[in-house]
Structure 1
Amino acid sequence: MSRSWKRKVRKNTEQLNKRRKKAGLKAVASPGAVTDRYRGRNYVLPALLILFIGFYIYMMTIPADDPNTTNPFETPIFWLTVACYLALAALFWFRRPYLLVGRDFVGTRKFTGDKTLTASAIKAITVIRPGYIIIEPKKGGNWVFSRMLNRYPIDEMADRLQRFAEDNRIPYTEQQKDKKK
C-alpha cells in the first residue's frame, strides 16, 4: 500500500469514528491501530533498592566514636532519605516494562521514556530459547527482553514477533541456549 492510500484510509476512519461517536455507537478500529502489548514485571531494581535501604539503616545504627554526634533516627533528613528510596523502589515496581508490537513498529519503555522503532529501522530479531528476545536496530543499542530479569511472556512475544518479521521482511532467527557442562 502506498503512503497516500494509508493516509486516506486513516482520514476516512477518523471521520467515520466522529460520526459514529455523535450517533452514540462504538468507534471502528483503524487498521494501523491494532497493537499487542506484552507486559513484564521489574523486580530486580526494587529489590536492590530495598537491600540498599536496609544497608543504609544498618550503617546508621553503628555508634560513632564522637560523643557529640546526634542519633540519626531523630533527624528528619534520615527519614526523608529512607522514604525517597522506598518511593523510588515503588516507582520501579509499579512502572511495568512492556513490548508493544504494531503493524509496522515496535515500542518499549526505557529509562529515558517510551521508544519506538519502525520496521525499516530494525536490522534483525533474534529469539534465544528459553528466555531472551533481542531486537537489533540499525542505529543504537540492542533491545533485550528477558524472562529472568523482567518476567516477560517470551513464548507469546516470539510468536507475535515472528509474524511481525514475516509481514515486514525482517530477518528472524531462533536459537537454543547452549547449556555448558
Structure 2
Amino acid sequence: MKIRRGAEHMSVIIKMPAISPSMTAGKLVCWHFSVGDKVKQGDVIAELETDKAVMDIEAPEDGVLEQILVEGDTPDVPVETTIAVIGNGASAPALQPEVTLVETQPLTNLPATESDEPILRISPLARRLAKEFGIDTTLITGTGPSGRILADDIREAKAKALHHNQ
C-alpha cells in the first residue's frame, strides 16, 4: 500500500502479513536492516514466526527503511498492523505505532533458560535443506545478512561433507 505525502515523498507501508486465512497474529522475530538502511526490492527485511512456520518479509520495492514501528522479538503482533515504512529517504511525518501494549502479571515458577545460547538465523529453505541432508546448522557460519544461514551455505556444507567422505 502506497501513501502519498506531497509530490516529493512516496512511502510504502509494510503491514504484518497473514500466512494463512486463520492467522490473527504472529511474532516479529527480527529485523535484518536498521532505520536509514537502503533496501532493494526482494531483500529480506524481517522474519515473522507463527506456531506453524517461519516466513521472510521482503521489501516490496527499492527505498530506505525510514521507520520500524514494531521491534524485533515482539510476540502477538496482529495481522495488518503497520510494522515499518519504506520511503525514498526524504523526511516525512512519523507514523505512530499501532501496537497497544497490555500490562500483564509476571509469570512465576518458570524453568530457567539458556540466555547465552546464540540465536540461529536461518532462512526457511535452508532449514528445510539442512533437515533433508541431515546437516547440523549450529556448525555452519552463514553468509547472509547478520550471519544468516542461506540455502547456498547448506549446499556448500553438503558438498564439503561428500568430498570429505570420499
User: Fold conserved (TM > 0.5)?
Assistant: no
TM-score (norm 1): 0.24
Work out which of the two has the higher radius of gyration on C-alpha atoms and give 1 or 2.
1
Higher helix share: 1
